[in-house]
Amino acid sequence: MKRLTTLMAVVAALGLGISGAQAERWDMATPYGDSTFHTQNIREFVQEIHEATNGQLEVHVHSAGSLITHPNIKRAVRNRQVQMGEVFISILGNESPIYAIDSVPFLATSYEEAEKLWQVSRDRIEELLARDRIKLLYAVAWPAQGFYTNRELESVEDFAGLRFRAYNATTQRLAELLDMEATQVEVPEIPQAFSTGIINAMITSPTTGVDSAAWDFVDYFYDIQAWIPKNMVIINQQVWDGLDEETQQIILDAAERAQERGWEMSRNEADRQKAVLNENGLRVMEPSQALMDGLAEIGQRMAEEWVEAAGAEGQAILEAYHEN
Ligand code: PCA
């Protein structure tokens, strides 16, 4: 209805020979489906922009990798194939270890820690993106990551031989250390990867477990709370520079609200989605001490590897993180 009114106003203006400002229409590429809270949050974000600009800026959200697949979203934003995008920060870990800090096992395992990690790493991530002429708008955390499998896990030895779904370089390394066979699979393809037998285990949030109906494929969810990774929403810098100050401020304000709202949504659904897993027959398991000790050891090793890869810069971020 609102769009129709705007359209009618534009048509009326044209009829009168007035060349008023043309409404702009942007594309935004995101990796996750419409039932995911991140996507719902993004839809609210762009709706707020649409309203605050009196319909002058309309952002069309292409969710679930439908326009651009996840591994190509950052490049698409950089090349202005789309004006805005959303990516999982640590999927960029192969570009710089700084992005990988977002998925170091057992570094940030509560929302408080995840917020702190965001505070101490945000500037550095913004600088890296700026090199690619991309501007960061906001980031939102997923619920803590747990392990989905058909096997009962007593210790780290029990992972051996599983066909594991990886979603970044860190999870590939984890698979290697646990003697699993890894395949990179994006969220929209999870059900198919399970049903065709390409994978039989994964590490992800209760959110993504519910989105992909994990109970159709596995029996157990081990709530190991291994890390709390984030998505970030980005915009092409040249597109940004082409906006007037008022519109920039509208977007910044909406981004700030989206960040706050998104973290709140995430906190709210962590437990709720675990209950949904349970209601659908998946057994939510408390990991044994032996399992956690073994994983902690592997996490420690991966943290050391990360420091080695990230050098002095990484060291500085970690020090700031532990200081706060
Ligand atoms: N879901 C996304 C990223 C982290 C999460 O919880 C995924 O599984 O790819």
**Residue 161 maps to which CATH number?**
3.40.190.170
Which tens digits make up the pLDDT trace of 270-287?
999 999 999 999 999 999
Q: Are residues 122 and 135 in the same domain?
A: yes
Distance CA 96, CA 102 (A): 12
- Quick one: pLDDT band at residue 244, thresholds 50, 70, 90? very high
53 ligand 1 Cβ < 6 A: no
Q: Are residues 154 and 37 in the same domain?
A: no
Out of 99, 184, 187, give the residue to mutate to test ligand 1, the one with the largest number of ligand atoms within 8 Å of its CB. Answer: 187
- Quick one: pLDDT band at residue 16, thresholds 50, 70, 90? very low
205 ligand 1 Cβ < 6 A: yes
Under 8 Å CB-to-CB from 16, ≥6 apart: which residues?
none
- What is the whole-number distance in angstroms between the Cα of residue 70 and the centre of ligand 1? 12
Q: Are residues 136 and 240 in the same domain?
A: yes
- 200 in any annotated domain: yes
Average of per-residue pLDDT across 162-181: 98
Q: Are residues 174 and 244 in the same domain?
A: no
Which atom of ligand 1 sits closest to the CA of residue 167? 9
208 ligand 1 Cβ < 6 A: yes
- In this structure, are strands 134-141 and 230-236 parallel, antiparallel, or unpaired? antiparallel
- 10 in any annotated domain: no
- 42 in any annotated domain: yes
CB 271 within 8 A of CB 210: no
Q: Are residues 196 and 296 in the same domain?
A: yes
- What is the whole-number distance in angstroms between the Cα of residue 309 and the centre of ligand 1? 24
Distance CA 91, CA 171 (A): 10
Of residues 295 and 21, more confidence is placed in 295
Element (H, E) at 124: helix 111-131
- Please tell me the residue having the least CA distance from ligand 1 atom 8: 204
- What is the whole-number distance in angstroms between the Cα of residue 6 and the centre of ligand 1? 38
Q: Are residues 219 and 105 in the same domain?
A: no
Q: Are residues 41 and 111 in the same domain?
A: yes
- Quick one: pLDDT band at residue 21, thresholds 50, 70, 90? low
- 8 in any annotated domain: no
Domain count, the chain: 2
Full 3-state SS string of 164-192: EEECCHHHHHHHHHCCCEEEECCHHHHHH
- 262 in any annotated domain: yes
Which tens digits make up the pLDDT trace of 247-270?
999 999 999 999 999 999 999 999
Under 8 Å CB-to-CB from 230, ≥6 apart: which residues?
88, 89, 102, 114, 118, 139, 140, 141, 142
Q: Are residues 312 and 220 in the same domain?
A: yes
CB 81 within 8 A of CB 151: no
- 18 in any annotated domain: no
Distance CA 26, CA 21 (A): 15
- What is the whole-number distance in angstroms between the Cα of residue 51 and the centre of ligand 1? 30
- What is the whole-number distance in angstroms between the Cα of residue 94 and the centre of ligand 1? 17
Q: Are residues 259 and 197 in the same domain?
A: no
Q: Are residues 119 and 243 in the same domain?
A: yes
Question: Could you list the residue range(s) of the whole structural domain that residue 206 is in?
Answer: 146-227+282-322
Q: Are residues 208 and 268 in the same domain?
A: no
36 ligand 1 Cβ < 6 A: no
Rg (CA), the chain: 21
Q: Are residues 262 and 124 in the same domain?
A: yes
- 185 in any annotated domain: yes
- pLDDT of 11 strictly over 80: no
Which tens digits make up the pLDDT trace of 69-92?
999 999 999 999 999 999 999 999
Q: What angle, rounded to 10 degrees, do the helices at 37-52 and 245-279 form?
A: 150
- 12 in any annotated domain: no
- What is the whole-number distance in angstroms between the Cα of residue 202 and the centre of ligand 1? 10
Counts for the chain of helices (H) and strands (E), in that order: 11, 11
**Locate tokens 């437990």: which residue?**
271
- Which tokens belong to 157? 């030895």
Of residues 56 and 13, more confidence is placed in 56
Under 8 Å CB-to-CB from 271, ≥6 apart: which residues?
none
